[in-house]
Amino acid sequence: MNFSTVKVNDLDVFYRESGSDDNPVFLLLHGFPTASHMFRNLMPILENNFHVIAPDFIGFGQSAAPDHTKFQYTFENLTNYVEGFLKALSIDKFYLYVFDYGAPIGFELAVRHPESILGIVSQNGNIYQEGLGSKWESRKVYWNHPTAELRKSYKSAFSPETIIGQYTGGEKAGSVSPDGYTLDIHYTESPDYAERQSDLIFDYQNNVKKYPRFQKYVRDYQPELIAAWGKNDPSFVYQGAEAFQKDDKNAEIHLLDGGHFVLESHWRKIGQLILNKWA
């Protein structure tokens, strides 16, 4: 595996990659609160058949993290940087793996460049109202009435206890390594972390508004799609996986016995689903 950075609009984008340049690209897009290290177990499974590339979004992991007063932390802007990343690496066709925050970014890329998408894996990467768990009701209150008090209250999402709970909730005891959440907790200690992430929590409302746009892409293009979903996820509930089937005749649904970070416990299973379909 190799680790590199590339300049996109004068900001460093960190990425990890493995596999031969001669193989089709598999682009892995992480979510919150993690970064490309979430794919550390999956990449070795895919590298013999794909050129696997996993960037860290701006403000995450090892990529540049400009102060929130100097950079617009919106999903539209993060997408623009991933788009610029692909252009910098001359990638014009790819398989797409999306998780959590990676879903609105990845599906926006698919809408912009439908000819580029070879297939999609959605791991708890939601684009349907049906997939929004109960916590999103309170988020809607915040979006409609964005007070300083509510913004401050959502900073609890960055606490070590919350992050560990995101990893271990819905999983069998002892099935999730501490490596991933320990590194994520370390990243929360970086300067301005809570403010830039708070900007993204507020902006998530625009992803929900784009759900019909993403669904239209799925209906119009019928991509080969695997929904590999931790069925015990309280954030993006499993009905979001099942909803793909109403729009995409090429969608296959796999509800796995895990939580939001189901890749931590089921990377072998998810890797095999991918190889079975596209290798």
Give me the sheet containing 117-123, strands edge to edge: 2-8, 11-18, 51-55, 25-29, 94-99, 117-123, 225-230, 251-256
Query: Which residue has 């919150």 as its token pair?
Result: 32
For the chain, the residue count is 279
Copy the structure tokens of residue 175.
């099935």
Copy the structure tokens of residue 79.
């997408």
User: Are the C-beta atoms of residues 253 and 242 closer than 8 Å to each other?
Assistant: yes
Q: How far apart are CA 99 and CA 122, in angstroms?
A: 6
Residue 113 designated active-site: no
Q: How far apart are CA 6 and CA 88, in angstroms?
A: 7
Q: How many CA atoms lie within 13 A of 184 on its CB side?
A: 27
Residue from 37, 51, 68, 260 carrying the catalytic annotation: 260
Q: How far apart are CA 197 and CA 188, in angstroms?
A: 9
Point out the residues that are catalytic: 260
